[in-house]
Structure 1
Amino acid sequence: MKLLARAPRNGEAIPAGLRRMRWIATGLLVLMAAIFLATRAIDPGFARAHPAIGFIRAFAEAAMVGGLADWFAVTALFRHPLGLPIPHTAIIPRNKDRIGETLAAFLRDNFLVPGVVARRMRRVDVAGAAGRWLASPEGTQGRLRKGASRLAADMLEAFDQQRLGGMVKATIGQRLRALEISPLLGQALTAAIAEGRHAPLLDGIVRWAAKVLAANEHMIRAIVHERAGTVMRWTGLDETLANKIIDGLDKLLHDMAEDPDHPLRAKAEEGLTALAFDLQHDDRMRERVEGLKAEIIENPAMQRWLDGIWEQARAGMLRIARDPDAALTGQLGEAMRQLGGTLQQDAMLRATINRFVRRTAVGMAADYGSDIVRLVSETVRGWDARTITRRLENAVGRDLQYIRVNGTLVGGLVGLVLHMIDVLL
């Protein structure tokens, strides 16, 4: 971890490496100036008697010029050299808005184009990498894992949760609206009937009907009593008729529950088969299912449920991010290791997951690419000139100081070569 020097007045800490390279580059420039002045002060006769002094002076002179030129160029990027308002200096502060727009355009044209994202994601084996990590998480360097976990936790906490949750909910809603569930339901029901897995469903319906009948006997008796004539009520036949109806229905349901080949069960299976066919091929049925799906999605209770899913997922991710070692112990850790092994062994599953990740990334680039670009541009535009100057200088300033050092040394070598040519000619 790099040590940071004392923070300046604007609150941005200067990396110690940048400060050290500044001193080295400036010290080298001062050294060349001192050598040049020292050699200039030597008696001309003594200098002619010792030709090496001329070479040293030529080296120092050219190195001083090269170092000054590169100091001016590097400084002009971030501020006015010596505070003088020289034209075409303080380039970054004066053009920060254009820099933000250029950076946003670069992201848009090179990273957030759906075609570019799709091509790059084809080369990324997300499922394989996840499988290797889940199968042997102890092989991952602890420091790296903890650092990544802290970064993930900080990012989750730093995001605007209302906006992020809204984006997640909107994305889920869009995917649900785009998903035509009627054919899926029809295919699932057809497969269940073919494999006999619909029998528990029919048994459940029969048991439910029996409970409904038992709970509403009084209603049946009341209906029969109201519809019966005066003679039947006076003779008590209405009560007998009600008992017969209830007993008959109860026996029918009992027979259906006990006999798998009951005719009514066969009729119910025919109805389920017809329903499965209609779900897949009948346009009106598909429209009705889609309309019901849309009503469910728009229902406030459904929206609250989606909010709850996001909050639970976020809380779970935060717990894992804050303590990755604990997340990999116990039954959860064992399940994750088994999942990792499956991902490494099942090529079809890996391909499916990678395809899903690729489509998700492409979809996010298409849906939110412009928003991300706008966020970058507006964020940079919102920074004051001093902030963006300091941040960019802290990021690349150390390398720019190497340019100053190289300029000083290369300038000195060029001066040395020119002096040699002058002596020889």
Structure 2
Amino acid sequence: MAVESPQARELRHTRRIAGSLLLLAGLCLALGMTAQAWHPGWPWQALVAVSEAALVGGLADWFAVVALFRHPLGLRWIPHTAIIPRKKNALGRSLAGFICRHFLSDAQIVSQLQRYDPAARLAAALIDPARARFWHRLLQGLSPHLVRLLDQPALRQLMLQTARQRLGRLELAPLLGRGLGLLTRDGRHRELVNSVLSDAANLLQQPATRALLADKVANEVWAVFRWLNVEERIARSMAERLTEATRQLLLDMMGDPQHPFRRRLDGHLRHLIMRLRDDPSLARRMNRMRDQLLDHPELAGYLQNLWDEGLRRLGQDLAADDSRIAAHLQQATAALGRQLGEDAELQQQFNQWCIQTLPALLGPYRPAIEQFIVQRVERWSADELSRELELAVGRDLQYIRYNGTLVGGLIGGLLFALARLLHLIFH
């Protein structure tokens, strides 16, 4: 058994009241006419006049209300009845045009945006802690679904294929050439070289490093010079001096930008940049290396593991009460909201952008929206549309029937009183 909706229940209730008023008017008319026949007198005449007018008014308004949705009493020959079912498509076109002209026109959108003040409302929303908590809870609720969506094999394969295709179209040689060109422009690379030289010199100064290198070098030196009867301690001393000389060389290179080795390094970098930009054979070799790397099964496995680990961490973080992602988002949005709320010029620019952009974005879709409304109304059957509209406005229409019955009776009483007064005056 279908459950009756609240709208249908209210409509049925108001119909009963309207019908009861008509029935009461009819009973009063019958009572007045019967009493007038047995005991003539003006009170019964007044009752007949009032009840008759009330009955006529109620029936007339009943006819008008019913005629909107169906043929009263099923009489199809009565013209201008069942107006909504007969004019369904025309009503749909009129409704669509009305909405687009009066609600979605450029002038209406601009007027609403000017009153709405999008910048101020957006700033208030971004800094509102309650809204931040709402978005956090929403992220927590959506995180399992988001992770499951991203973990679909088809989507994972699509992402890997897309990454493979994008990387496969990447020209490494020109890219590296531009990168090295930016790095060496105006001597920017010198700070990096100095940092590397400093780290290397500091590493050679550490006792553990010096001992390790001394052992390695001493063993090699002793293996060569022992045939010359060179003692092992002398070989170890030579190794330590070589290590210290290397460290000093690194310090000299770091302190002298014009050091021969530094100039040679700069020359090699310039030559490499030129080759990366202009040498087709080097570009082809690098592209072959790129393709071999992309075709390597271990790279696909690495990307797969990286994707899975990223999804796992994403899901764990979003589901946590102290989510780092949510915290960063909250901090970023709050900072943006504070800046927007404090900067009047930025607010004006944002509002002006909305006024200029939103009508332009909506404009091309306005005909499609109008056509959608028309098609949606046309897909409704006449009975379905009538039923939906009657449920929506039928309760209010029943009050027209109330008023017709009550106002009709009141007018009938006034006309009877006027006629009675004129009769007394002239007779």
TM-score by structure 1 length?
Answer: 0.52
1:367 to 364, 367, 384: 364
TM-fit CA distance, 1:416? 0.8
For 1:385-396, what aligned pairs fall within 5 Å after superposition? Answer: 385-396=382-393
The correspondence for 2:29, drawn from 22, 29, 36, is 36
Residues 138 and 18 of structure 1: CA distance in aligned 2, closer, same or farther (over 3 Å): farther
For 1:420 and 1:204, the matched residues in 2 are separated by 110
State the Cα distance separating 1:113 from its structure 2 match.
Answer: 2.8
Q: CA deviation at 1:201?
A: 9.4
Shift of 1:94: 0.5
Cα deviation per residue 1:321-380 (whole Å; 9 max; x = unaligned)? xxxxx9xx8554455455444443332222222222222320133111111111111111
| Deviation digits for residues 30-63 of structure 1 (CA, Å, limit 9, x no counterpart) | 1111111122221445341xx4333233221111
Q: 2:109 aligns with which of 104, 117, 120?
A: 117
| Per-residue deviation, 1:408 | 1.1
SS in 1 for 2:354: helix
373, 378, 383: which one aligns with 1:376: 373
Is 1:131–2:123 an aligned residue pair? yes
Which digits, 9 at most, give the CA deviation of each residue in 1:155-179, with x for residues without a partner? Answer: xxxxxxxxxxxxxxxxxxxxxxxxx
Gaps (5+ residues) in structure 2?
143-181, 194-259, 271-317, 423-427
**2:303: which partner in 1?**
none
- Choose the corresponding residue for 2:9, options 16, 19, 23: 16
User: What does residue 55 of structure 1 align with?
Assistant: 46
CA contact (8 A) 1:206 1:253 kept: no
Q: What is the rounded CA distance, in whole Å, between the counterparts of 2:186 and 2:49 in structure 1? A: 102
The structure with the largest alpha-carbon Rg is: 2
CA pair 23-247 structure 1, distance change in 2 beyond 3 A: same
Partner of residue 416, structure 2: 419
Aligned to 2:73: 82
* Offset from partner CA, 1:106-144 (integer Å, 9 cap, x none): 1232233324432332222122223334444659xx9xx
CA distance in 1, matches of 2:187, 2:24: 93
The superposition leaves residues 246-286 of structure 1 with CA deviations (integer Å, 9 ceiling, x where unpaired) of 9755235899xxxxxxxxxxxxxxxxxxxxxxxxxxxxxxx
Secondary structure of the corresponding residue to residue 89 of structure 1 = coil
- Indicate whether 1:107 and 2:122 are aligned: no
1:286 corresponding residue in structure 2: none
Identify the residue that residue 266 of structure 2 maps to in structure 1: 251
Cα separation, partners in 2 of 1:41 and 1:367, compared to 1, 3 Å: same
**Residues in 2 aligned to 1:58 and 1:89: alpha-carbon distance in whole angstroms:** 29
Mapped to 2, the partners of 1:349 and 1:59 lie a distance apart of 70
How many angstroms does 1:389 deviate by? Answer: 0.9
Deviates most, 372-381 or 123-132: 123-132
Structure 1 residues 249, 357: closer, same or farther in 2, change over 3 A?
farther
Whether the 8 Å contact between 2:33 and 2:48 is mirrored in structure 1 is: yes
Match of 1:352 in 2: 349
**Inter-partner Cα distance in structure 1 for 2:407 and 2:338:** 56
| CA distance in structure 2 between the aligned counterparts of 1:201 and 1:17, rounded to whole angstroms | 81
Match in the other structure for 1:97: 89
CA offsets 1:366-424 (integer angstroms, 9 cap, x no match)? 11111111111111111111111111111111111111111111111111111101111
In the alignment, the residues of structure 2 paired with residue 104 and residue 387 of structure 1 have an alpha-carbon distance, to the nearest angstrom, of 19
Match of 1:27 in 2: 20
Over the matched positions of the two proteins, sequence identity in percent amounts to 38
Seen in structure 2, the aligned counterparts of structure 1 residues 360 and 19 have a Cα distance that, compared at 3 Å, is farther
State the alpha-carbon separation in 1 of the partners of residues 8 and 123 from structure 2.
38
Name the stretch that deviates more: 79-88 or 15-24: 15-24
Contact 1:78-1:91 within 8 A present in 2 as well: yes
Corresponding letter in the other structure for 2:97: A
8 Å contact kept, 1:77–1:89: yes
Q: Name the SS for the 2:116 alignment partner.
A: coil
Q: 1:246 to 1:135 in 2, by over 3 A?
A: closer
Q: Partners of 1:394 and 1:203 in 2: how far apart?
A: 78
Q: Is the 8 A contact 2:36 2:45 kept in 1?
A: no
Aligned positions, number: 258
Alpha carbons of structure 1 residues 52 and 120: separation in structure 2 relative to 1, 3 Å: same
AA partner of residue 78 (structure 1): F
Amino acid at match of 1:251: D
Distance change in 2, residues 1:23/1:364 (3 Å): farther
> Are the counterparts in 2 of residues 127 and 350 from structure 1 also a CA contact under 8 Å?
yes
Cα distance in 2 for residues equivalent to 1:42 and 1:351: 79
Counterpart contact for 1:117–1:365, Cα < 8 Å: no
Aligned 8 A contact 1:113 1:365 in 2: no
Q: What does the per-residue CA deviation read over 1:78-116, in whole Å, with 9 as the maximum and x for residues that have no partner?
A: 011111102210000011110011111112322333244
Letter in 2 for 1:87: P
| CA spacing shift, 1:418–1:351, aligned 2, 3 Å | same
TM-score by length of 2: 0.52
| Counterparts in 2 of 1:95 and 1:246: CA distance versus 1, 3 Å | farther
CA contact (8 A) 2:33 2:44 kept: no
Tell whether the 8 Å contact from 2:36 to 2:44 is kept in structure 1 after alignment.
Answer: no
SS of the equivalent of 1:42 reads helix
Change (3 A) 1:200 1:348: farther
Q: How does 1:80-229 map to 2 (within 5 A)?
A: 80-85=71-76, 86-136=78-128, 138=130, 202=185, 206=189
d(CA) in 2 for partners of 1:392, 1:60: 32
Write the letter of the residue equivalent to 1:84. L
